[in-house]
Structure 1
Amino acid sequence: MADRRVDVWIGATLTLTALALVYFGIMHRPVVGMADNGDFLRVMKTAGFDYASDGLTYEAKYFDYAILQYRNAPLGFGGYASTHLLFLFVAKAANALLHPGGLFHITTLGALYAACFAAAIVLIYTGLQASRATRLAVAAPLVAVYTDVAYAAYYHSFYGEPVSLIGFLLAIGCGLHAARAPERSRLWAYFAAVVLFMGAKSQNFAVGLVFSALLLALGRAAAEPRTRRLALALSAAVLLLTAAFYAAAPKELKKINLYQTVFYGVLKHSDDVPADLRELGLPAELAPLAGTNFFEAGTAIPQTSPALDALFYDRIGHLDVALYYAKHPRKLLDRFERAADDASTIRPYYLGSYSKEEGRGPGAVHLEGAWWSEGKKAHMPRSVYAALAVAALYTALLASRRVAALTGLRAHGALYGAPFIAAIAYVTPLLGDGDADLAKHLFLYNVAFDFMAVCAAGLAAACLARLAAAAAMRLYRRPSAGQVGGGRP
């Protein structure tokens, strides 16, 4: 009972600390957010939001300034299906209670994200089966790292990145609880967290493969037949939802991604464009488009031209690109190394952090409270091999019997998903969107990488503390020179 009370107090402290850091990081004056790069419209119409003013200039609406207030509008029927919408609907309802008849304040959405983030951290702390010191050595740094302003600034936006962050942490936390006591209710909670995570953004769909395997492992380990059958059924359901989410992605979005993948990815770095076009099964007349992006004006063939359907969109898919790279692994490795320049950047620096009313310069970026993100950007080696080294260290610590003996770590299968999620999050933008906006598209990779780095550091610190305490105890118990031999000469 006393141990449970201590954990309650620690959980409350983690929650209050997380909320306080988010509040003072982005909600206390000046209010910090993130400017729209054009993606907001994917969800604004569906969730019933509109710009507060009809006379906004292009610069005020996009890139330069964060918009903190929006006009409520009737719910629409957008073509972008995402679990991100759930948060927008809840925030809109809460805002109606807090600001009846008024504008929608983006800080309402930010507060909802902050509360869910704090709950996810507590889930991880309480779900991790290890000594209390080890759990705290993992959970407390997670609070510090994920409240960095580069992460928190996304809370005041209509981007789906906060849902990726929260969904990732909730899935880890629920997975730990399901392994701790494989009950049916916990398996359903795990499944719900996984669906929330994989449905947040189109690039998250593939992580369903990881969680399907983790659920399968849980099912095989379950002793109770009904629980085992449920875990296996949920594992299959995750696979089906992976395919369903991909199929539900808007056709226009798939076209954009495909164009970027080929012309702003494969062909952008090609040494022989005609040869690569032939290998991809595409006509040579597309060569002038090499190196262009979907949103670029004045291309030889307009990106939305019906002629491009027959020449390009109807003749190739992402599987063809994957097969191309399978034949040319050296080119894929070169792409990975190029992407490493952006892999340590949590947020894009071309998006302003302040509202226009703050009077800051266009595109000004808030750097206070960016200790982790700026440190990574400045000191993280620009190489994919550095990331592989962190993943290898993390996995080795999880698998080590010595670490388990020192920390009490057990039933932690959910943690093994992080390296695979990081790998998927690194590869998917390159194969699914070319070089377009990598600093933003590698957000989930940063989430998973930072999780591995923090957990590895926490486990190592817990081991060292345990070894130091044992050594100190041995010194304390060692008899002094005068006591050796006992009795008189």
Structure 2
Amino acid sequence: MIIWKRRLRRAGQIFQKLMPPPLLAVLICAGLAGYLIFVPPINGLADNGDYYRAMYSNGIYKLLGTDYNYFGYVTQKFGLMKYFNEYHSVNFSSQPLFVKLAIGLNKLFYSRSVFDIRFMGVVNYGLYLGGIYMLTDALTYPAKRFRNYVIAGLVVLVFGDASFTLYFNSFFAEPQMLGLTLYSFSSILLLARQRYQRRWPLILIYLVSTLLLIANKSQNAPLALSFVVVTLGLLFLPNFKAQRPYLFVGMAVVLITGGLTYKLIGKEFVDINSYQTFSHGVLTQTDDPSKALAEGGVDEQYALMQNQDYYAKQFATIQASGPYVKKNLLTKLGFAWVVKYYATHLKQFGRLLDLAAADVMITQVKAVGDYTKASGAPPGKQVTFFTLYSQVAGAFFPQKFAFNCLLAMALLMTYAVGFYNDLKNHEFEGILRFFLVAGYLTIFIFVPVISIIGDGDADLAKHLFMVPVSIDLIFLLFISDVLNHRLWHAYRQGADAS
């Protein structure tokens, strides 16, 4: 019996050496995501009308002579412009960096005239797998027990979910947001856990990934404030006094990037958001929208536009992009008007926040199909392969915004204990971890508020994308801290011996 125990222990040590938890998590996620996005018939997300923002400005267009499908089916092949491109980006964004990389790979390995969406998948796939490795390493280091394979399994369960990886074969910004968030979160956690002797590479990874994340999408501009909170924790690093001025410069750049991302939003994009804030926000969750409009100085006839999209799928009561609407409605719907409206209709605003809370963990985009037409699937069909976590979380996560606030307070207070203990003991792991959690909790709470004010309840699964990502990361951090006995203080040698 003793001999068998020794053999099992030896086999376990060899397995740990050959297949550490981060590598195992990456390999499993690589298999799951690779099967969806690369194996024919491929899966991804169909165009909901937003692809043009990333396509035309980067020289990609719908292939002539093909039946381009909106909403129902994933389109695999696109055309590449050969000559002058007259289209310009509608927003200030870092997304073109990733799209141009995909185009470069496509031209190198496939075609100079036809673009295969799988090359966009390759770029997103590579970014994602690096983030998975860093995250699993950060959550498990330096403990050497088999419980870390449980943590690796949870990483796979949460971030290997198809609701995240389906984005890879698309022109949406969300897959880059996921990968960049994994890098940003993990680099701070690796710093807190003193994974490497040199700090500057991790600090550089954190700042670069954070800046690219904020600039990736116009709706990410307010995230600059959340990441300033995260960055404050770096001021507590020991022997870091000489580098603090550079850190303040980095914080200023983060804020400037957020400001530029917001300031340089294209006029057309502003009109779309203003319209959908009105039709999917101001006019919803209220018994008498006409009365509310009259009180706000807007013609009551616009109440007929309730729940109407800017780009209507079917018949629309009035053309949203027409000059009449722009002149008589959109010019009145500034940010101040919307805030004032909700401030005087708090009950309606509360209902909208509860509606957002109900969609917080529903990460799979329901408005578009996940299959190509060649697959033989009916239009709009959704993938169910490896969606257990998103389905369970979407079904059972409490659907009240008040609960989210209470959960955030509980988590903040929990990590405040570690902050206090490590501050008292001149450690810094709990301090960095506290600011990391605090920053991501602001995303969890305030992004729904910003989304409702900025776009109503339209496309909530996409607009709230950073909310489930943030709370999932905190959830994984909490579980790993409990399993490795470091929730209340910095990691201590021998803590993993039990």
Aligning the two structures, in what range does the TM-score lie when normalised by the shorter sequence?
0.7 to 0.9
1:208 aligned partner, one-letter code: A
Kindly indicate whether the alpha-carbon contact (under 8 Å) linking 2:71 and 2:380 is maintained by their aligned counterparts in 1: yes
Deviation digits for residues 47-99 of structure 1, max 9, x if unmatched?
221233x2333xx5211111122222245523233212111111111222221
Cα 1:461/1:301, change in 2 over 3 Å: same
Q: Within 2, Cα distance between the matches of 1:423 and 1:438?
A: 15
Q: CA deviation at 1:312?
A: 2.6
> In structure 1, what is the equivalent of residue 371 of structure 2?
354
What are the residue-to-residue correspondences of 1:158-169 with 2, within 5 Å?
A: 158-169=171-182
Kindly indicate whether the alpha-carbon contact (under 8 Å) linking 1:397 and 1:403 is maintained by their aligned counterparts in 2: no
65-74 or 298-307, which deviates more:
298-307
Q: CA deviation at 1:36?
A: 0.8
Deviation digits for residues 426-464 of structure 1, max 9, x if unmatched?
222211111212233222222223223333333334449
> In structure 1, what is the equivalent of residue 319 of structure 2?
302
What are the residue-to-residue correspondences of 1:61-80 with 2, within 5 Å?
A: 61-74=69-82, 76-80=87-91
Q: Within 2, Cα distance between the matches of 1:358 and 1:8?
A: 36
TM-score by length of 2: 0.82
TM-score by length of 1: 0.84
Kindly indicate whether the alpha-carbon contact (under 8 Å) linking 1:204 and 1:425 is maintained by their aligned counterparts in 2: no
Radius of gyration: which is bigger?
A: 1
| SS at 1:81 equivalent | coil
Q: CA deviation at 1:276?
A: 2.6
Matched, 1:201 2:217: yes
Cα 1:346/1:153, change in 2 over 3 Å: same
The match for 1:148 among 161, 167, 170 is 161
Q: CA deviation at 1:361?
A: 1.6
Which consecutive unaligned segments of at least 5 residues does structure 2 have? 1-12, 423-427
Q: CA deviation at 1:470?
A: 9.0
Kindly indicate whether the alpha-carbon contact (under 8 Å) linking 1:43 and 1:80 is maintained by their aligned counterparts in 2: no
| SS at 1:314 equivalent | helix
| SS at 2:383 equivalent | coil
What are the residue-to-residue correspondences of 1:32-431 with 2, within 5 Å?
A: 32-52=43-63, 54-57=64-67, 60-74=68-82, 76-101=87-112, 103-127=114-138, 131-132=142-143, 138-179=151-192, 180=194, 183-219=199-235, 223-284=239-300, 286-296=302-312, 302-401=319-418, 410=430, 411-412=432-433, 413-431=435-453
Kindly indicate whether the alpha-carbon contact (under 8 Å) linking 1:34 and 1:157 is maintained by their aligned counterparts in 2: yes
2:165 aligned partner, one-letter code: A
Kindly indicate whether the alpha-carbon contact (under 8 Å) linking 2:183 and 2:205 is maintained by their aligned counterparts in 1: no
103-112 or 277-286, which deviates more:
277-286
Q: Within 2, Cα distance between the matches of 1:231 and 1:270?
A: 47
Kindly indicate whether the alpha-carbon contact (under 8 Å) linking 1:121 and 1:139 is maintained by their aligned counterparts in 2: no
- Percent identical across equivalent pairs? 24
| SS at 1:104 equivalent | strand
Deviation digits for residues 340-361 of structure 1, max 9, x if unmatched?
3333311222311111111122
Cα 1:279/1:234, change in 2 over 3 Å: farther
2:95 aligned partner, one-letter code: H
Deviation digits for residues 79-135 of structure 1, max 9, x if unmatched?
233212111111111222221446322222212222211211232344459652587
Deviation digits for residues 129-177 of structure 1, max 9, x if unmatched?
9652587655542233111111111101111111121121121123334
Kindly indicate whether the alpha-carbon contact (under 8 Å) linking 1:26 and 1:149 is maintained by their aligned counterparts in 2: no
Cα 1:196/1:294, change in 2 over 3 Å: same
Kindly indicate whether the alpha-carbon contact (under 8 Å) linking 2:103 and 2:115 is maintained by their aligned counterparts in 1: yes
Q: Within 2, Cα distance between the matches of 1:72 and 1:472?
A: 58
1:85 aligned partner, one-letter code: P
CA RMSD of aligned residues (A): 3.5
Deviation digits for residues 454-479 of structure 1, max 9, x if unmatched?
3333333444999xx99997xxxxxx
216-225 or 191-200, which deviates more:
216-225
Cα 1:341/1:112, change in 2 over 3 Å: same
Q: Within 2, Cα distance between the matches of 1:280 and 1:219?
A: 46
| SS at 2:308 equivalent | coil
| SS at 1:61 equivalent | coil
1:432 aligned partner, one-letter code: G
Cα 1:303/1:184, change in 2 over 3 Å: same
| SS at 2:363 equivalent | coil
340-349 or 358-367, which deviates more:
340-349
Which consecutive unaligned segments of at least 5 residues does structure 1 have? 474-489
